[in-house]
Amino acid sequence: MGDVKIGFVKLGNLGMSQVIDLVLDEIAARKGIMVRTLGTGAKMGADEAKDTEALIKHWDPDFVVMISPNAGAPGPTAAREIYKNTPTIIVSDGPDKKDARQALKDAGFGSIILKVDPLIGAKREFLDPTEMASFNADAMKVLSACGVVRMIQEEIDKVIDQVASGKSGKDLELPHILGSPDKCVERGCFENPYAKAKALAALHMANTVAAINFPACFMLKEVEKIALTAAAGHEMMTAAAVLAREAREIEKSNDTLFRNPHAKDGKQLTKTKLYDKPA
């Protein structure tokens, strides 16, 4: 059996897009996998989806991870048509409704839906490149400290293990997860209940950011209302990042911070005490 080939297709940007292809090999020492990533920048239309075919589809990956905002949008929908015969996991902030998620499953796609990866306040009355980067940094702090990154790591590793054991195509068991705050925080492996509570609060706040930013992006017309509403959403994201950082600091102060690095063969090792060796 050769290396497991994983293709990552990034259409547009979510907070998780920044690291999703890196969480499988955090120190660039893992054997047995090959990763190829194609991103289309901020745009996520049908033309961008088609352009991913040349690099990713023709590379013949064992499975694909496709990440984008709003998986029901035209671009991601067109991309799914391209990859419908390749095992594909959809990572997105929607759809979160049961029927829509079931439709993805019925079509053969895995899915990890993360409403906790929030909609940015994407209006030029408020957003510039610096604000965009700051928002994504805050989102990444919540996603990393509160269990979402570990969820992605663990679920993709499960599929890699299946391919390595000889499974392929439709025989692969893909994840079907609605990443609610309660589900995500369980992947954080918190020992201190106050740390866990802070992380859960951060996830709920991130989950609410999209509801604040949505009107600013798509409904409001007056400049003052757009700017004020988007600013409020971004302030909430910053506050969520502070809570996430505090949760991690509590675990560090108790020397109970859970880590699960990869061994060279891809096995997930674990440790809690800082001076322990992963095993």
For 153-183, write each residue's pLDDT tens digit. 999 999 999 999 999 999 999 999 999 999 9
Task: Please tell me whether residues 78 and 134 are part of one structural domain.
Answer: no
pLDDT at 54: 86
Q: Are residues 104 and 201 in the same domain?
A: no
- Phi and psi dihedrals of 96, rounded to 5? -105, -10
Alpha carbon 93 to its chain centroid, in Å, reads 9
Residue 14: which domain range? 4-113+147-184
Mean predicted confidence (pLDDT) in 98-119: 96
Q: In the predicted model, what is the mean pLDDT of residues 12-18?
A: 97
User: Tokens 């809570």 label which residue?
Assistant: 243
Residue 7 has pLDDT above 80, yes or no: yes
Measured distance CA(247)–CA(148) in Å, rounded:
14
* Interval 11-39 mean pLDDT: 97
> H/E element holding 243?
helix 223-253
Structure tokens at 60: 């013949």
Q: 278 lies in a domain?
A: no
CB 199 within 8 A of CB 105: no
Section 11-20 average pLDDT: 97
pLDDT of res. 45: 94
CA 189 to chain centre: 18
The answer on 245 and 137 residing in a single domain is yes
Note whether residue 170 is domain-resident: yes
Asked if residues 181 and 209 have their Cβ atoms less than 8 Å apart, the reply is no
Residue 1 — very low, low, confident or very high, per pLDDT cuts 50/70/90? Answer: low
Indicate if 65 and 100 belong to the same structural domain: yes
Same domain, 201 and 77: no
**266 inside domain:** no
- Report how far residue 30's alpha carbon sits from residue 83's, in angstroms, rounded to the nearest whole number: 26
Q: How confident is the prediction for the chain on average, in pLDDT?
A: 97
Q: What is the pLDDT of residue 10?
A: 97
- Per the CB < 8 A criterion, the answer to whether 113 and 94 are in contact is yes
In a domain, 9, yes or no: yes
| Dist. CA 16–CA 126, nearest whole Å | 22
Same domain, 15 and 136: no
Q: Is the pLDDT of residue 46 over 90?
A: yes
Question: Stretch 40-48: mean pLDDT, rounded?
Answer: 95
- How many distinct structural domains can be found in the chain? 2
Question: What does the pLDDT look like over 207-218, one tens digit per residue?
Answer: 999 999 999 999
CA gap 250, 261 in Å, rounded: 21
- Cα–Cα distance measured from residue 48 to residue 9, given in angstroms and rounded to the nearest whole number: 10
Scanning 146-222, the segments in alpha helix (DSSP H) are 148-164, 181-186, 193-218
